[in-house]
Amino acid sequence: MFKHKKRSFWKKGAAFCLLTSMLLVSACSSGQGDSGQPQYPTRQIEGIVPFGAGGGTDLVARAIATVAEKQLGQSINITNKPGATGTVGTKYVFDKEADGHSLLFAAENPTVYGVLQLSERSFEEFYPVHIMGRGLAAITVNESSKYKTMTDLMNDVKANPADIKMGTTGPGGLSYMVTAMISQSENVEFNMVPFDGEGPIVTALLGNHIDVSIVSLSKAIENAKGGKVRVLAVVNDAKVEELPDVPAITDELPAMSKYMPWGPFYGVWVKKEAPDYVKQTLEKTFAEASKDADYQALLKNLAIIPMGISGEEAEKFWREQQSISAWLLQDAGAAKVSPETLNIPKKQ
């Protein structure tokens, strides 16, 4: 009788140990992927666009996120958090956990936050998962303008210093930066007229309230096709197929070559402290998503040059852009902190 009970006890004990081991293995493996790494993502990802809905950054972010979330197996909820040149949304992501469930879909603005004293947060605190592409700008005038070429415009600017009205969005903005490039390379001065965005600038240009401005290439193409504006040059070191008869700015103003290539760029970023497996998963996912035909069609429609770079290559790119922009602001007298103080080298 005793032996039977003892044998039964050991059988039950062995079964209990086996069940416990299975549960432990299950618990440990449930948080891991096929490679043995922790599972990621484990919930919905929050994608923050630090600008308003409908802009270039917002459109590109939503297009690539729609493809990427299918591969990740979790949705990417794109949310707009505009304010203070993108600093509000950037800080919001910075304040989140570095677990990859909060992503920043940003343009180039954080490269000059330091010199303009807009925020203590910048790309320094983030890892570039994927820089989707860079945009181009265009020198535009009203279709009825007396300026038929860049030569016409520059001759007038030189003859009438600080008289030709240039629409601009203020320090750090696209139009301001390109105007600073032209002013520095050609030793000329425009009458800078500030506006609260590209939309109001185009409205003023069409109403002949300003003489010239620099707008995104997509906006220039849209209005040129409508017969509303004339594009004098594309801010690039080569012509673009969308406007084959329009010269590159370097063809008209060779001294501008030292700033090229330059322009707005769009990327997705994760906090720098995120685990390597998170960064690797995101890099692979967005690289694959960037091959989507509809996404590529959107880039073409917005006149954005595809880049698809990440990691060290992406960091080298944004730092070069930062050097150009920061020192332009310094030379134009718009910087509040010297780039040298922030250890930003000057591009030679």
Residue 237, domain CATH? 3.40.190.10
Write down the pLDDT at residue 44. Answer: 98
Residues 320 and 233 in one domain: no
Residues 98 and 162 in one domain: no
Residues 83 and 190 in one domain: no
Closest CA to 71 of 282, 266, 274, 279: 282
CATH classification at residue 309: 3.40.190.150
Segment 66-110, tens digit of pLDDT: 999 999 999 999 999 988 889 999 999 999 999 999 999 999 999
Looking only at the bridges linking them, the beta strands covering 137-142 and 165-168 are unpaired
How much of the chain, in percent, has pLDDT values that exceed 70? 90
Residues 80 and 151 in one domain: no
Segment 111-136, tens digit of pLDDT: 999 999 999 999 999 999 999 999 99
User: Does residue 182 fall inside a structural domain?
Assistant: yes
Write down the pLDDT at residue 174. Answer: 87
How far is the C-alpha of 9 from the C-alpha of 228, rounded, in Å? 91
Tell me the mean pLDDT in the region 331-335.
90
Write down the pLDDT at residue 34. Answer: 54
**Across the chain, where does the E strand assignment appear?**
45-49, 76-80, 102-106, 126-134, 137-142, 165-168, 191-194, 212-216, 229-235, 265-271, 305-309
Of 237, 259, 281, the domain-final residue: 259
Residues 154 and 194 in one domain: yes
Tell me the mean pLDDT in the region 242-264.
93
**In sequence order, what are the residues at sequence separation of 6 or more whose Cβ sits closer than 8 angstroms to the Cβ of residue 253?**
150, 154, 182, 185, 186, 233
How many independent structural domains does the chain possess? 2
Residue 52's CB is within 10 A of a number of other CB atoms, namely 13
Of 259, 275, 310, the domain-final residue: 259
User: Does residue 348 fall inside a structural domain?
Assistant: no
Write down the pLDDT at residue 270. Answer: 98
Tell me the mean pLDDT in the region 155-166.
95
Lowest-confidence region among 4-18, 50-64, 173-187, 322-336: 4-18
How far is the C-alpha of 149 from the C-alpha of 141, rounded, in Å? 10
Does residue 221 have a pLDDT over 60?
yes
Q: pLDDT category, 336, cuts 50, 70, 90?
A: very high
Residues 307 and 247 in one domain: no
Segment 25-66, tens digit of pLDDT: 444 443 455 557 899 999 999 999 998 888 889 999 999 999
Write down the pLDDT at residue 6. Answer: 43
Write down the pLDDT at residue 35. Answer: 58
Residues 244 and 149 in one domain: yes
Q: Which domain holds residue 238?
A: 137-259
Which is more confidently placed, 4 or 284?
Answer: 284
What is the model's pTM?
0.81
Residues 198 and 309 in one domain: no
Residues 55 and 152 in one domain: no
Locus of tokens 């995104």:
216
How much of the chain, in percent, has pLDDT values that exceed 90? 75
User: Does residue 5 fall inside a structural domain?
Assistant: no
User: Does residue 113 fall inside a structural domain?
Assistant: yes
With contact defined as beta carbons under 8 Å apart, do 277 and 41 qualify? no
Does residue 261 have a pLDDT over 90?
no
Of 208, 230, 259, the domain-final residue: 259
Does residue 5 have a pLDDT over 70?
no
User: Does residue 64 fall inside a structural domain?
Assistant: yes
How far is the C-alpha of 98 from the C-alpha of 91, rounded, in Å? 13
Residues 242 and 322 in one domain: no
